[in-house]
Amino acid sequence: MSRVAIVLFIILGSFSVAFAQSGLKLSGKLRILEPMELKVTSLSGETILSTQVERDGVFDLGPKEIVPDLYILWLGKTQQPVYLTNTNVTIKGYYDATRPENSSLSFTGIDDFLELSKWIPTEKNSRKRTINPDVRGKLKGSMYSALAYLSDMEALEPNKLLLDEIPEEFYDVLSVRWLNQKVDSLAKFAVGAEAYNFTYVDPEGKEVSLSDFRGKFVLVDFWASWCGPCRQEMKSLLPIYNELKGNDLVFISISLDKREKDWRQMLEVENLPWVMLWNKEGFTIGDAPNMIQKAYGFYSIPFIVLIDKEGRILARRLRGEKVKEEILKVRRK
């Protein structure tokens, strides 16, 4: 059975089982230092169940009929996506609102794929995943695990095949609509898609475009002077460039510094031998990415993409030795 078929089987199986239940119930007892709100919301922000948990920590909500789907479980200000059906869910244990990483919680009625005893997020960056990466891809019978598995995949086709096989009756389910949006987005910058033809200035003030290098493989590195990992990555690119440079290959580093003087100072410090460009729009952190971030679909740097001789994307999110491996692979074809 193909990977897509497995995922489809899990998703549709989850729907059929979940619709047979009587309603979502949420109950349990928590040890807490201060009263807090516990709630479940939809992906669109609608509150499904909500209660104020007092110092005794006891709560009992529902039952309430829901459409089996992805929801957000909130403990105070801490949140986590979970796949919920019309079943009984219990939450027990200790929750520390001040230092969530010290919490110890146990759950029943939620797929153990999530390893929810480890779910309390410690990252300040909300874009970082809070689910243990070691368990991602272990499909254990929930729609969420299937979608979480697919969300790490850069290839357009598996996502598109999955969407094509979902029955129309489920098209209004929020997570299926999410998958539809993902397919639309991937189509713009997935492997095989035409790369956005940017134009930026070089150190001499000359405008340089991606299309200027048609007929060559182009490695594009997005970075900024304030980004420590970017500077490390540029140092690792140098020996790869020296080993593989040739008439068929161009390296381009595009600075996302907001100030030109920061970019120019870095040019002097690094003194790299390939094409250096500056995008004065600058890198945008958060939910409002700039034009080049939207065009290539990235929210963090360094971000490295390899483009073929016809201007199509060959590989994305390359780092370290993977850069060399991908260049050698496309040269052998």
In a domain, 178, yes or no: no
In a domain, 163, yes or no: no
Residues 6+ apart with CB under 8 A from 37: 50, 51, 52, 53, 74, 76
- Given 91, 121, 149, the domain boundary residue is 149
* pLDDT at position 326: 92
Overall number of domains in the chain: 2
Q: Are residues 142 and 14 part of one domain?
A: yes
Q: Are residues 127 and 57 part of one domain?
A: yes
Residue linked to tokens 């073929």: 308
In a domain, 170, yes or no: no
Name the residue range of residue 256's domain.
Answer: 199-332
pLDDT, tens digit (0-9, with 9 covering 90-100), for 256-274 = 998 999 999 999 888 899 9
Q: What CA–CA distance (Å, rounded) separates 165 from 12?
A: 10
Q: What CA–CA distance (Å, rounded) separates 189 from 212?
A: 20
In a domain, 185, yes or no: no
| Residue 284 structure tokens | 């945008």
Q: Are residues 294 and 229 part of one domain?
A: yes
Helix axes 228-244, 321-332, angle to 10 degrees: 40
- Given 149, 167, 189, the domain boundary residue is 149
In a domain, 229, yes or no: yes
In a domain, 168, yes or no: no
- Given 116, 149, 182, the domain boundary residue is 149
Per-run averaged pLDDT (10 residues), the chain, 333 residues: 41 45 87 92 86 94 84 82 82 84 77 38 36 35 44 54 64 66 66 88 94 95 89 90 93 93 90 93 70 81 92 88 92 85
Q: Are residues 109 and 20 part of one domain?
A: yes
In a domain, 138, yes or no: yes
Residue 301: give its domain's CATH number: 3.40.30.10
* pLDDT at position 138: 36
Asked if residue 222 lies in contact with residue 301, where contact means CB atoms within 8 angstroms, the answer is yes
End-to-end CA distance of the chain: 29
Q: Are residues 240 and 110 part of one domain?
A: no
| Residue 254 structure tokens | 């595009």
Number of helices and strands in the chain (H, E): 8, 15
Residue 31: give its domain's CATH number: 2.60.40.10
In a domain, 63, yes or no: yes
Q: Are residues 277 and 218 part of one domain?
A: yes
**pTM of the predicted model as reported, rounded to 2 decimal places:** 0.51
